Structure 1
Amino acid sequence: MKITRLNGGCIASSYRLDLENKQTIFIKTHSTQDFNKEANGLRELKKANSIAVPDILICRKNFLALEWIESGRKPKNFFKHFAEELAQLHRYTSDNFGFYEDNYIGSMTQENIYDTKNWQDFYYHKRLLFQIKIAEKNGYATREFSKAFLSVEKKLVTLMEGSENIPSLLHGDLWSGNYMIGNKGQAVIIDPAVYYGNREADLAMTMLFGGFPMLFYEEYNKAFPLANGYEKRIDLYKLYHILNHMNLFGISYRSQAITMMNNLGHE
């Protein structure tokens, strides 16, 4: 048996475990993170029978063992197939927004339990307002910051006008660091922050921190056309993640959040 510590990941410690029977296992550990939340998210994603996710081998509160994903080469049509599979994932729906349990977005608690069929209500209370309250607790909410958020609050109905009110299954934290290319050239999604929400929110996250190529969005829209005006709502959904990064990593993200909120509030 051989254990190798892996680089990358800013939250959990990760390892490769090579067993004597030639099986390879991926292991994550953390002293306080509850990996049952991640495991439940992976199980939920698997229900959609769309994008590949790692199989769960063992899960304990502070320990998660997953199948090892052997990396492959990115085929020419990778993003076309990835987009089509994400569209299929988003066709898997629920009756209500949220999820049956709270989980994590990074190492931050993500509140999901909220009995509502109204997307605007859910997004305001459980995504934006939740992060704003943490920002206030952290001492990040300057007068300028609070004024900018107030401008978003006042225009929220207008900003979300035309969006779908369908609870789609979302990865929840789908950026370029949370997918892999499997040994057959397929997309494999990892580290989810699963809930049922508006699918535009998943797409917005893919546009942050490096983003996906334009082909991905073109193919997604062919497979599952988006509601009119979705481009105007993308920054509203990016805002949740920028606020979360500010609350996790500090005020270096505050100016970006303020600019984003001011732009949204004055559209």
Structure 2
Amino acid sequence: MNRQRIEDHLRTLADTELRTITPVSGGSIAAAYQITTGDGSRLFIKTAPQFPDMFEREARGLKELSAANTVRIPEVIGVNEEILILEFLPTASVRPTTFQSALGAALVRLHRATAAEFGFTEDNYIGATPQVNRPQRSSWKEFFVVQRLEYQVRLAERNRYDDREITALVHRIERMIDRLIPDDGEPPALLHGDLWSGNVLCLEDGTPALIDPAVYYGHREMELGMTRLFGGFDERFYAAYNESYPLNDEWERRTDLYSLYHLFNHLNLFGKSYQAQIYDTLKRLLN
């Protein structure tokens, strides 16, 4: 998107003028920029979405997180099919030693925001993959198997990233799902949905903030499965979380199960290099 088009969107959606624009690296789903407006304030914008409804659905997810008033979320200033305009959150150059504990406590507050049904009011995206969120009142197990695991497996088949042995192992996992996931009666918790370390910010005052969500209501252990997949969350984080909101027995074993959704998503986004990790995770669950 050229500068003139960005200026037009800023006038229409944020009633402000563009002074400077600086590309921000790190994103693979859209182009990102830090901008300075006519009055000297800073904003963060995204352009060039991969799907026309991507930014509007992300904005509604951010608003859902923000409405819970539990953890710092960038305010949505304006959005349409071409651009997402957000509050700019200045970050600390060094994270304080208390940050991981503060992050764990903040995630507890988020997960204590609940709903009557698993899912969300609409489908959205996890990365560049459509995420199905059809509301399911009665069963987290069914929601996870149908809308998370099976959905990604079928997508891998369409993308020709499937593997016969992996598919057979997934079917074995599905047949023993009642043993793997207990009926613990926990309500659907508000989840960020894509909680890896790159979507966590440490603000200048040491406060945690979350960005780039794939929001829905699910079992809170699903979120922790993602945190254990790619690193960036240490024992202080888990200790603070568990102290405020104790986790159920064998939750660490189930994080392997829940990480499969994200591993299959990475397979579908980035290719067959993730097959070995998926295979190893499935074998651990079956042993």
**Shared fold by TM > 0.5?**
yes
Q: TM-score, normalised by structure 2?
A: 0.89
Report the alpha carbon displacement of residue 114 of structure 1 after superposing the two structures with TM. Answer: 3.1
On the 8 A contact 1:96/1:196 being kept in 2, the answer is: yes
Match for residue 161 of structure 1 among 175, 182, 187:
182
Match for residue 60 of structure 1 among 63, 80, 86:
80
Match for residue 46 of structure 1 among 66, 78, 84:
66
What's the secondary structure of 1:234's corresponding residue?
helix
On the 8 A contact 1:32/1:62 being kept in 2, the answer is: no
Provide structure 2 residue ranges, at least 5 long, that are not aligned to the other structure. 1-18
Match for residue 112 of structure 1 among 120, 133, 146:
133
Q: How many residues align?
A: 266
Amino acid at match of 1:136: E
On the 8 A contact 1:162/1:228 being kept in 2, the answer is: no
Question: What are the Cα deviations for residues 156-206 of structure 1, in whole angstroms up to 9, with x where unaligned?
Answer: 111112545420000000110001111211101000000000000111111
Match for residue 12 of structure 1 among 10, 30, 37:
30
Match for residue 243 of structure 1 among 241, 256, 264:
264
Report the alpha carbon displacement of residue 12 of structure 1 after superposing the two structures with TM. Answer: 0.7
2:197 maps to 1:176: yes
Query: What are the equivalent positions in structure 2 for 1:12-31 lying under 5 Å apart?
Result: 12-31=30-49
Decide which moves more: 140-149 or 213-222. 140-149
Provide structure 1 residue ranges, at least 5 long, that are not aligned to the other structure. none
Question: What are the Cα deviations for residues 7-54 of structure 1, in whole angstroms up to 9, with x where unaligned?
Answer: 111111001111231111101012433201111111111122111000
Amino acid at match of 1:8: G
Report the alpha carbon displacement of residue 145 of structure 1 after superposing the two structures with TM. Answer: 1.7
The percentage of aligned residue pairs carrying the same residue is 41
On the 8 A contact 1:101/1:112 being kept in 2, the answer is: yes
Query: What are the equivalent positions in structure 2 for 1:73-112 lying under 5 Å apart?
Result: 73-112=94-133
Runs ≥4 in structure 1, deviation > 3 angstroms?
162-165
On the 8 A contact 2:29/2:49 being kept in 1, the answer is: no
Counterpart position of 1:149: 170
What's the secondary structure of 2:43's corresponding residue?
strand
Matches of 2:44 and 2:170 in 1, distance apart? 41
On the 8 A contact 1:164/1:198 being kept in 2, the answer is: no
Amino acid at match of 2:281: M
Amino acid at match of 1:56: V
Amino acid at match of 1:57: I
Query: What are the equivalent positions in structure 2 for 1:169-208 lying under 5 Å apart?
Result: 169-208=190-229
Decide which moves more: 235-244 or 113-122. 113-122
Matches of 1:257 and 1:211 in 2, distance apart? 20
Q: TM-score, normalised by structure 1?
A: 0.96
2:249 maps to 1:228: yes
Matches of 2:227 and 2:47 in 1, distance apart? 26
Report the alpha carbon displacement of residue 116 of structure 1 after superposing the two structures with TM. Answer: 2.7
Matches of 1:74 and 1:223 in 2, distance apart? 22
Matches of 1:217 and 1:255 in 2, distance apart? 27
**Aligned Cα RMSD in Å?**
1.3
Report the alpha carbon displacement of residue 253 of structure 1 after superposing the two structures with TM. Answer: 0.3
Matches of 2:119 and 2:49 in 1, distance apart? 27
Matches of 1:189 and 1:31 in 2, distance apart? 20
Amino acid at match of 1:69: L
Matches of 1:217 and 1:163 in 2, distance apart? 20
Matches of 1:228 and 1:164 in 2, distance apart? 14
Matches of 1:54 and 1:38 in 2, distance apart? 12
